Amino acid sequence: MKVPVSVVILTFNEEKNIRDCIESILDFTDDIFVVDSGSTDKTLEILSNYPVQILHNPFENYSQQRNWSLKNIKFKTEWVLNLDADHRATKEFKEEVEKLFLNGIPNHINGLLTSRRTMFMGKWIKYGGHYPTYHAALFRLGRGKCENKLYDQHFLIEGDTLKVKGDIIDLITESLSTFTQRHDKWSSLEAIQQFENNLNKKDIIKANVTGNPIQKRRFYKNIYEQFPLFVRPFIYFFIRYFLKFGFLDGKRGLIFHFLQCFWFRFLIDAKIYELKKNSNKF
């Protein structure tokens, strides 16, 4: 069954991912859009074989690209699902959304929360507090937007949200080289964000320990950022890998949790230190 949901996919040189992403939603919707930011590989050639509409827009950052898409696409439906090319909609997720639309979604519900199932080196990362991790990627048009952050952006929903059973698979890396290159770039964005601390508070998710899963996650991240540089990565890794049983993910889990929970966070702190040093803020 196809549901009244439009899908937006962001692409840039995604020839290795885009086919499987599109095919995971062909039985789910008839309204698929791809916003490409200048692919030079076979991404557009592959897309020409599918019933999708392609738009082009230069990439500035994730928030800008998502919000540009929401403002400029002429959707057929009231609901929009936002995906990346390395995402896959699972059968369970699609069936759950179908049931919700068949039964009728209450008017006060403006967003649906679904968990990401992170796949790293072919393994599902289940432990270390990494699953379930909820995102509000599906919401009513006009009731959701991407928060104005350089990194770690979530969708800000106006109104109530509802958890959805079933996951969106997230293939976060094709190789360790790609993984570390991306995280090097993202660490720079996060370092600048924390160093400048000049976010427009009206355009970000409010931390709330009693709120929805995204608000709770933001609450704990804010606490993390209050800890001293270079101390907090050790604490974070210890909690994730030992107290939240990250070690149960095996050898590939060790690689993931060390790189994502320690190395990446330590690199952020090192770049914040560098920014402070260069600005004489010590």
Token pair, residue 82, equals 């936002």
CA–CA gap between residue 86 and residue 174 (Å, rounded): 10
Write down the pLDDT at residue 27. Answer: 97
Write down the pLDDT at residue 108. Answer: 96
Categorise residue 203: left if φ over 0, alpha if ψ from -120 to 50, beta otherwise. alpha
What stretches in the chain show pLDDT beneath 50?
none
* 188, burial (CB in 10 Å: exposed 0-12, middle 13-18, buried 19+): middle
Give tens-digit pLDDT for 129-161.
999 999 999 999 999 999 999 999 999 999 999
Q: Which fold has domain 5-171?
A: Spore Coat Polysaccharide Biosynthesis Protein SpsA; Chain A (3.90.550)
Write down the pLDDT at residue 199. Answer: 55
Write down the pLDDT at residue 201. Answer: 65
Would you list the domain boundaries of the chain? Answer: 5-171, 176-278
Q: How many CA atoms lie within 13 A of 195 on its CB side?
A: 21
Token pair, residue 128, equals 């270390």
What pTM value is reported for the model? 0.94
